[in-house]
Structure 1
């Protein structure tokens, strides 16, 4: 046998080289300056995961639970080492061992390249589409925000579509392998919102394919191919089984689960899930998807972006702002004039939009209609509350949809289809030798997109450009008017920019069609202009300013206040009063009442809204009055809050001598009959002496107990707490640990006993008279069973990948001699 580098192999190698070099170019500070992207969400995650990592490093075991934030919660949605080493290896190999998270952009290009090849696009044109897909500002904004999981899920989605398409085209083995591998790597990232949108795309594609095959009388092959894909899906899901089971089970007890309180149930009578106003808080305006073509159609970023020679800059100087401070002032003024509370534009690329319009005109219906549906459906989803009749119906009745927020993420759906639509249209022109009919469609597409950009340039000055964010500037009417002039200028400049790129791409295609550019140089030029188009906009939001050397070290440098608290080696919690429920920095060092997580336990969120927020205000009032009596903070005290942190200085820490401690005996039980009654009574109760228990859920024989005994924590680990108790009669012990109904096991002297829930969120036990050892351990069956299924599925996947792709590589590289 001899290795043969055919033309196609060389083209694939060139594609990989282009993707690799573009990744290095865009993220050069990572490769040449040893810097990392400063990602706020990732830094918050590092704070939340610190206790888990320390326990894992010390014991070699998984804690599966952490007490570092929100009083305590399962680690399933934070950090758990599952049996997914094989899938992680495949992900690393797939991205050529590039560093995380920049390798996800490389993976986007590779996956989309494979998708386009699967649909019959030539390699060089596939490079154009892959670059256009990977470097959209949507993906770069993911990295800026620290939404690595979202970008990772996006990166492997095209591979799944490629496998599905190949399977339905009769290439069952390669289709099975691509779909199973893509799904395994996609699910490993664990961003189920993108998975949900991907499932919608697959359903739309499958329906369209079914209709086409039915018309051809090929229903039986369609069913066979569907069965192959179902097997691939089961294999891919098997590699994720434990995580999926844990996520599904955990969701029932979170904000995404069924509400406990009557007011919440009345607000959502038909379903569990998120609150509607929370889920649709970020919703695109009806015309806001125009930013896919003209990035500054709505002003661009939330703040800044104004020209220092613009109208607002001139007005600021007239107002007496020194010239050297004008740029700083401009960066604090709102450029975005839409209705979202905070956003950045998701730019698809002017060239990609132009090519997609071209594909929409020239392609036959069976190739394009399913993509039209995906694009329209995805855009409609992003409108959220601004298309409430549609989206609220889906939220109330569409399975699983009410579990997700930030509906603008659904723009992933059109962004996935637009380059595919465009490249298929261009490929058709190549196959038809750019015949007269195809060129007619080309001229229409060029005129439509270029004409729209031209109209935006001409009529930009006619918009109102008023923004909800202008409210604080009403006392400066001349500055407001100048701002609106500058917003029009931003739109006009970017419309002109989009026009130039459309014309540039159109010129490349025109000269290619007329034989003035070769079949090699035309795609090369298209790659160049497409790269410049999307990368130059993405650079506005992810550039050298976003890279720092070891951002975690700076973010997690312990303050003087932290060092004071860390001097106390007991087990307790800390209440940081600086935005506590959006802060995991505290969790890096301490067990915190607050934290940072999108899926808090439902009951703890209720506790925040109904009790903790009020007690935080009460705490401020107490301190301002010069008092250090915190005995009235019953909820704060029952969570064993020993320290209040008001800032980073040594003097900004207060010790709370009224905290209840890790465990205590109560003298009285107040029985209630509903969650509403339970939380109403809790706020203001002396939790040291009274326990509130929902009698409809838990049986407590007595209402009075002897609280003269003692109970103390002997040893602490996130997943195991050991106490010693002594009492002369049966007692009711309350523990400052969050009650979670699945996984926690309580034993008294080695005998398992039922765990009660008290005070809305805490654990409680009825302890018999005498001296006892009480042990709580977290033993979720989800982890032990799920891990075995994942490991077995991963081995099968590895065998499939080696056999199928090994055979494909052998076919490409070797000739029999």
Structure 2
């Protein structure tokens, strides 16, 4: 019987958790000790976009599911919708040890990577170092600083899924099943499908090499059993998020990520994102070298050059004031890569060195799939800097054209190098330190250390000109010369820094194997070196200056402009912020906005923005600057019931629009078209108060008349339910200033179901009979209500499965 050894079986893991907790608390010290918080741009924007749904939930206990606070109206699935029975949410809280969000995310990354390395056979003390390297990679830290919490949460669970898949293929099927199901369920819940897509690529490549190995060893039946078991685990994970995934998949075809109905030369060609948009952020060919030397390309577009920089000296010579020097030096455009704006995704000097070592010491069956993933990740991150391959992938790899910022794919290389590197270190520490092993070790030091030394010695030879320099064209030559000298200096300093960590880690391993250091001391030194390496770079991007005193609701204090607008008792009208409206969700906190901030707005609304709303907005601003208030010409803004323009935060900055069409109206004439192109084109010359355009290829329309005295009045408003009262002496077509969405919305007239038409490219319309009637729109998508039940069932099954595995694991067996 196997005896349970507390010191051996539990103590190392408790120490690991304690180390991870301490590192997390120290890293976020201002949160825990100074009562500060981390301002995050994207989270601030999210709070604005989510406020209507949050308030509705707090007031009614229901889910609104639809919000009118952004882009005239859109489903709330990707904004703020909760599903009952999501027990994975509670598991997430437990794994983060109930630390405040987002501080617990890197703790989860630590734990997840630690579990993965244990499953791969790495001893706990070395696994601690690997977990610290993964959790503190600048990919995670930079993303948290920007507010990409869901992205980092999805990254944090990647190792857990990899651990499950690896275990299943290495004779630990029960463990593999549970880790895969639980890890994937947790990852899907945080809802960042781009990272999940990258995880899928990793699993597919790993699975392909397992298949090849299985064919060689003639073990296909065993391979099939493992794949079958893992497919069941995937179904469990999908089931635990069924409602969330169903609603998102249902909405996706109608979002910017879906296929456009517009055509180019008569052919419908636009599907997914535009290439220019998707590849806007693409690594230069050499840019992945920042994985090894963080400031290889200067760091960020606003880098602190420190004291005694070349730029500082040049500014002093030009007689600049102390304040001017400080401002210039602390936010210098040091980055000189191909992207318009970026920050380096650093994997770690020691991690890359160990990765090189692993390629030399591990069996080929462990490294072939790793090599493919690292190379694939780097090539994909090049984006439009390697069009031949990446445009082909974008056009033909299913689902790939739904995502942007292809630099994110470098996380595959980061995770894979951690995985392989620490497996390689385990191999070195486990096997005999013979001459062959020593030669491989020395070669790996020569490769990694030699490259760092070469980069340091040749740092003065580059041009140090990048895409960002186009914005510096008006700067004097002395400024650019000093800046480029600082860029070279940043590379040189970081190259020597990388060289130090490579040599230091190599020395610890060498001395340990030569028995000049005890194993315990060697483990402690490796952990310390990794921590100093990763912590130091991470703090460049998230330091004490990144935190601020908790402002409470100060961020959302109601301005005088907001107060003036909210005096309007109309339950449903829209506001247009004249300052960058289509990248602003703060307006949505108090108002139903024409604009917003979201990467998956409705496709038809984006079409409208590009063809009509943006030109109208430009004209409105031009007229206002000229002292004109000619709002009658803003036909599209009027049909969206844009009742107020907001030009600032003062009360006088509010500009009422008396020409807004209102909540609903009857039209005199219907312009019939037969495709989306004509529908949108007609919109540009439509009198929206009296005319409507309807695509007759999609909708049937009966005979309508017009009563000039007819009215439609909104009597009750909720995000998911609108009630109107209509009065007309003739059968007519009523147009509503609400965004049309074909799934989930239903309409009744006096309790009788009627079909909802689409008018004016984006709005709802109804054929309303003569007389006085009550009209009700309700949003009750089956994908949410049925999906909610399925979600609950699979969450219970998942938790029961995890508890059963824990019970079995603790049984004493031979």
* Cα offsets for 1:288-344 (capped at 9, x unmatched): 000001111111011232233122112222223113420202244311111211100
Q: Is the 8 A contact 1:303 1:331 kept in 2?
A: yes
The SS at the match of 1:584 is coil
The 3 A distance-change label for structure 1 pair 780 and 495 is same
SS across alignment from 1:657:
coil
2:337 is the alignment partner of 1:359:
no
Q: Look up the match of 1:145.
A: 146
Contact 1:43–1:552 (CA<8 Å) still a contact in 2?
A: no
> Residue 683 of structure 1: CA displacement?
2.0
- Is the CA contact 2:45–2:585 (under 8 Å) kept in the aligned structure 1? yes
Deviation by residue 1:144-181 (Cα, 9 ceiling, x = unmatched): 11111111111111111111111111212111111111
Aligned to 2:328: 329
1:197-216 matches, within 5 Å, as: 197-216=198-217
Structure 1 residues 4 and 427, CA gap change in structure 2 (3 angstroms): closer
Q: Is the 8 A contact 1:738 1:763 kept in 2?
A: yes
Residues 1:544 and 2:536 are matched in the alignment: no
CA distance, structure 1, for counterparts of residue 12 and residue 234 of structure 2: 31
What is residue 340 of structure 1 aligned with on the other side?
339
- Per the TM alignment, residue 439 of structure 1 is displaced from its structure 2 partner at its CA by 1.6
Contact persistence 1:108–1:133 (CA under 8 A): yes
Matched, 1:129 2:135: no
SS in 2 for 1:263: coil
Matched, 1:627 2:628: yes
Correspondence 1:70 to 2:71: yes
Taking structure 1 as reference, are residues 336 and 427 closer, same or farther at Cα in structure 2, changes over 3 Å only? same
Change (3 A) 1:749 1:610: same
Q: What's the CA shift for 1:469?
A: 2.0
- What corresponds to 1:261 in structure 2? 262
Distance 1:18 1:373 in 2: 33
| 1:765 paired to 2:782 | no
Aligned match of 1:387: 386
User: Could you say if the C-alpha distance between residues 697 and 648 of structure 1 is closer, same or farther in structure 2, counting changes exceeding 3 Å?
Assistant: same
Deviation at 1:622, TM superposition (A): 1.9
SS in 1 for 2:767: strand
- Structure 1 equivalent of residue 479 of structure 2: 479
* 1:668-683 → structure 2 map (5 Å cutoff): 668-683=669-684
- Comparing 435-444 with 251-260, greater Cα deviation is found at 435-444
Residue-by-residue CA offset, 1:718-745 (whole Å, 9 max, x unaligned)? 0000000010010110100000010000
**C-alpha displacement of 1:84:** 4.1
Flag the 1:552–1:147 CA change in 2: closer, same or farther, 3 A: farther
Q: How does 1:99-178 map to 2 (within 5 A)?
A: 99-178=100-179
Q: 1:3 to 1:219 in 2, by over 3 A?
A: closer
SS in 2 for 1:272: coil
The answer to whether the 8 Å contact 1:242/1:790 transfers is: yes
* 1:704 CA drift (Å): 5.3
Structure 2-normalised TM-score? Answer: 0.97
Correspondence for 2:278: 279
User: How do 1:203-242 and structure 2 match up within 5 A?
Assistant: 203-242=204-243
Extract structure 1 runs of 4+ deviating beyond 4 A: 1-4
1:264-311 per-residue CA deviation (whole Å, 9 max, x = no partner) reads 986x73x62111110000000000000001111111011232233122
Instruction: Name the residue aligned to 2:554.
Output: 554
Alignment correspondent of 1:528: 528
**In the alignment, which residue of structure 1 is the partner of 2:95?**
94
SS at match of 1:252: helix
How many Å separate the matches in 1 of 2:694 and 2:324?
60
Q: Which moved more, 1:286-295 or 1:676-685?
A: 676-685
CA 1:38–1:457: 2 relative to 1, 3 Å = same
CA distance in 2, matches of 1:471, 1:214: 54
Separation (CA, whole Å) in 2 of partners of 1:712 and 1:703: 20
Secondary structure of the residue aligned to 2:10 is helix
For the aligned residue pairs, the C-alpha RMSD in angstroms reads 1.7
Contact 2:745–2:777 (CA under 8 A) maintained in structure 1: yes
Query: Mapping of 1:655-666 within 5 angstroms?
Result: 655-666=656-667
- Structure 1 counterpart SS, 2:633: coil
Corresponding position of 2:745 = 744
What is aligned with 2:307? 308
Partner secondary structure for residue 120 of structure 1: coil
CA distance in 2 between partners of 1:526 and 1:553 (Å): 44
Match of 2:53 in 1: 52
CA contact (8 A) 2:705 2:731 kept: no
Is the 8 Å Cα contact of residues 638 and 661 (structure 1) preserved in structure 2?
A: yes
Distance 1:809 1:563 in 2: 62
Distance in 2, Cα, partners of 1:645 & 1:181: 47
The runs of 5 or more residues in structure 1 that have no matched partner are: none
CA contact (8 A) 1:38 1:551 kept: no
The answer (yes or no) to whether the contact 2:573–2:643 under 8 Å persists in 1 is yes
Alpha-carbon distance, 1:219 to partner: 1.6
After TM superposition, the structure 1 stretch with the greater mean CA deviation from structure 2, 229-238 or 435-444, is 435-444
Say whether residues 1:378 and 2:377 are aligned partners: yes
Going from structure 1 to structure 2, the CA distance change for 1:264 and 1:538 (only over 3 Å counts) comes to farther
Question: What is the CA deviation profile of residues 680-723 of structure 1, one whole-angstrom value per residue up to 9, with x for unaligned ones?
Answer: 22124221111111121122234753342111000000000000
Give, in angstroms, the shift of residue 3 of structure 1. Answer: 8.0
Contact persistence 2:211–2:223 (CA under 8 A): yes
Query: In the alignment, what sits opposite 2:791?
Result: 790
Write out aligned runs for 1:588-607 (5 A).
588-607=589-608
Distance 2:363 2:3 in 1: 42
Whether 2:511 is the aligned partner of 1:508: answer: no
Instruction: Provide closer, same or farther for how the CA distance between residues 739 and 800 of structure 1 changes in structure 2, counting only shifts above 3 A.
Output: same
CA apart distance, 1:553: 2.4
The more displaced of 281-290 and 361-370 is 361-370
| Secondary structure of the structure 1 residue equivalent to 2:784 | helix
String of CA shifts for 1:19-71, please: whole Å, max 9, x gaps: 11111111111212222211110110111000001111111111110000000
Q: What whole-Å deviation, never above 9, does each CA across 1:424-479 have from its counterpart, x for those lacking one?
A: 11111122133222221111111111111111111111000112222343341121
CA distance in structure 2 between the aligned counterparts of 1:52 and 1:231, rounded to whole angstroms: 35
Task: Using the TM superposition, give the Cα deviation of residue 214 of structure 1 relative to its aligned residue in structure 2, in angstroms.
Answer: 2.2
2-structure distance, mates of 1:311, 1:703? 76
The CA distance in 1 between the partners of 2:375 and 2:471, in whole Å, is: 36
SS at match of 2:787: helix
> Deviations along 1:119-166, whole A, 9 cap, x unmatched?
111111111111111100000011011111111111111111111111
The residue that corresponds to 2:435 in the other structure is 436
In structure 2, do the counterparts of structure 1 residues 254 and 343 end up closer, same or farther at CA, with 3 Å as the change threshold? same
Contact 1:304 1:333 (8 Å CA) reproduced = yes
Shift of 1:101: 1.4
Rounded Cα–Cα distance in structure 1 between residues aligned with 2:331 and 2:349 = 29
What SS is found at the alignment partner of 2:312? helix
Q: Spell out, residue by residue over 1:372-399, the C-alpha distance to the aligned partner (whole angstroms, 9 max, x if none).
A: 1111101111000001111100111111
Paired residues, number: 811
| CA offset digits 1:753-802 (Å, max 9, x no partner) | 01111111000001000000000000101011111111110111111111
Deviation at 1:809, TM superposition (A): 4.2
CA distance in 1, matches of 2:307, 2:324: 10
